[in-house]
Structure 1
Amino acid sequence: MIDSHCHLDLLASRKNLEVVLDSAASNGLSRIMAPSVHPESWRELQNIADQYRNILPIDSALGLHPYFLDANDALPSDKVISHQLSLLEEAALARHASVKAIGETGVDGHIDTPVKLQQQVFNAHLALAERVSLPVIVHHRKSHHLLLECFKQSNYQGSGVIHAFSGSVEVAKGYIERGFYLGIGGTITYERAKKTRETLGYLLEHHIDKLLLETDAPDMPMCGRQGEPNEPGYLTDVVDAISELYSVEKSEVIAATTRNYFRLFG
């Protein structure tokens, strides 16, 4: 199994990372993608990839999450954003061996940062991803229409993954038609996630070659594990839920999503 979205730097502040990674490997994980959220996390994730490579291979990504466009100001200034984007481009051009993607980036409809500014930053990520030939890891919340608008306006020709996908079959088709993969995580372990579960049933039947597994650790706890930090080793809960809900062999889910990961990230 591969966890295609796990914030190891954030998890390290809450749990012993060596213990967490040993447990993940024992539970069958073979690799982890660790997206970043701000410039300080880029180097930290690269150090983590170097330090723990004997336990698990760790890939990383370079990005500016909309939550963290500037950790010091409620509303980031154009000057701050311009500087951060310059740092992002420098890091991408001189990238560490672990860097396999651009992200996490995206548009969030629930935060105070103006949507137009978020779209501007997201478009800059898309342009950079095309220049350096890397896929993008995309965050969404109440923003599918805004993301699709960005893809259309920018004429983005690259690929990527829509992290923590939740949406209708039609929304899923819209992303897949643009060459995107969809990240499936702990949401489906909850009975209340009826829409996402219905969409996943369609995707397993028609587009299993576009699905990735993820935890989003330390966030998005699995059903039954609320109140504790999520871990990459809990990815087995997602596989178990898929197998039980759709009568699909666990080995088929793992094999397909593993192939998909390497097809996307190399």
Structure 2
Amino acid sequence: MLIDSHAHLDSPRYADDRELMLRRAADSGVGAVLAIGIGEGPAEMHQALNICREFGGKSGMPRLYASAGIYPHNAAEANDAAQAKLDRLLSEPEVIACGEIGLDYYHEGAPHPVQREGLICQLKIAAARKRPILIHCRPKEGVTDAWDDLFEVLDEHWASTGLGGVMHCFGGGWEQAQRSLDLGFLISFAGNLTYPKAQPLRDVATRMPIDGLLVETDAPWLAPAALRGKRNEPAFVTQTAQTLAELRHVSSGEIAAATTKNFTRVFNLMA
């Protein structure tokens, strides 16, 4: 069984075939999906939970979990009402993580100090609810500015919780991977692992300890190389897992078993 640890199931791009898309995932061997609850802003961060409740438990479907969080670009919207909504969502049993949250200095968005404050306030809410976090971190091209600021925040406001989390759609180097592992985070690789120009990322994936790995789609974006340009969906996580297996000279089954074990551990889903 594989787990897609990060998919935006509430995307409007699935509006016409969401149920069929989820059935394709199950048919491909995807046993669970973590639906990311950020929407287009705090007003929509409940949508992932709604999808879990609509489709979860149906025959022929993967198991569905949800997250909730305020994306870095929307950090200016993290007012008292949004924070209260996030707290309520994190109290729901299906909502197993806070995210995706973090810092994005690559795109135009909220000013960096606003992103930082939005991240810190969400870390406090997640810690109080004992929920691991899903981190989005994207620096400007060729520098590590967002990573440097992220680790400063995590060292001060998160490390002591021991809750860890996931570095989603990891795009850093080995130094950032090692620091993440030291903080108790898993490193999640998406479809861009398969892209021809992603050799530095594949080098990191090869060095990773097996108990620090996850796979994801970040659907509907980042379809694997063979499907690039098409809408991504959870079924395609199998291609990322296959690439990871080939890089590490192990079977796809070993990657599936390890990443499933890692997922259940970080989110405290062990029976």
TM-score after normalising by structure 1? 0.90
Moved more, 55-64 or 80-89: 80-89
**Structure 1 residues 47-126: aligned runs within 5 Å:** 47-53=50-56, 54=58, 55-69=61-75, 76=76, 81-92=79-90, 95-110=91-106, 111-126=108-123
The structural deviation recorded for 1:155 is 4.7
| Aligned position for 2:30 | 29
Aligned AA (1:104): E
| Aligned position for 1:129 | 126
The answer to whether the 8 Å contact 2:87/2:129 transfers is no
**Structure 1 residues 134-145: aligned runs within 5 Å:** 134-142=131-139, 143-145=146-148
Instruction: Give 5+ residue unaligned stretches, structure 1.
Output: 70-75
The structural deviation recorded for 1:246 is 2.8
| Aligned position for 2:157 | 154
Q: How many residues align?
A: 253
Write the distance in 1 (CA, Å) between the matches of 2:16 and 2:265. Answer: 31
The structural deviation recorded for 1:12 is 5.1
The structural deviation recorded for 1:240 is 1.6
Instruction: Give 5+ residue unaligned stretches, structure 2.
Output: 140-145
Partner SS for 2:103: strand
1:216 is the counterpart of 2:218: yes
Deviation string, structure 1 residues 7-60 (Cα, Å, up to 9, x no partner): 000155455111101100000000000111133333322221112111221100
Aligned AA (1:148): F
CA separation of 1:150/1:47 partners in 2, compared to 1, >3 Å: closer, same or farther? same
**Structure 1 residues 215-234: aligned runs within 5 Å:** 215-234=217-236
| Aligned position for 1:73 | none
Write the distance in 1 (CA, Å) between the matches of 2:103 and 2:152. Answer: 11
Deviation string, structure 1 residues 166-222 (Cα, Å, up to 9, x no partner): 22211111010011111111111112101111111100xxx1101111000001121
Partner SS for 2:220: coil
The answer to whether the 8 Å contact 2:211/2:259 transfers is yes
Question: How many percent of aligned residue pairs carry the same amino acid?
Answer: 29
| Aligned position for 1:197 | 202
Partner SS for 1:106: strand
Write the distance in 1 (CA, Å) between the matches of 2:212 and 2:52. Answer: 26
Aligned AA (1:125): Q
Write the distance in 1 (CA, Å) between the matches of 2:135 and 2:29. Answer: 26
1:41 is the counterpart of 2:48: no
The structural deviation recorded for 1:67 is 2.6
Write the distance in 1 (CA, Å) between the matches of 2:46 and 2:151. Answer: 31
The structural deviation recorded for 1:87 is 2.2
| Aligned position for 2:142 | none
Question: 1:188 pairs with 193, 196, 202, which one?
Answer: 193
**Structure 1 residues 246-257: aligned runs within 5 Å:** 246-257=248-259
1:238 is the counterpart of 2:240: yes
The answer to whether the 8 Å contact 1:11/1:217 transfers is no
Write the distance in 1 (CA, Å) between the matches of 2:123 and 2:101. Answer: 9
| Aligned position for 1:173 | 178
Write the distance in 2 (CA, Å) between the matches of 1:263 and 1:47. Answer: 25
The structural deviation recorded for 1:148 is 0.2
CA separation of 1:107/1:257 partners in 2, compared to 1, >3 Å: closer, same or farther? same
Partner SS for 2:29: coil
Write the distance in 2 (CA, Å) between the matches of 1:106 and 1:31. Answer: 24
TM-score after normalising by structure 2? 0.88
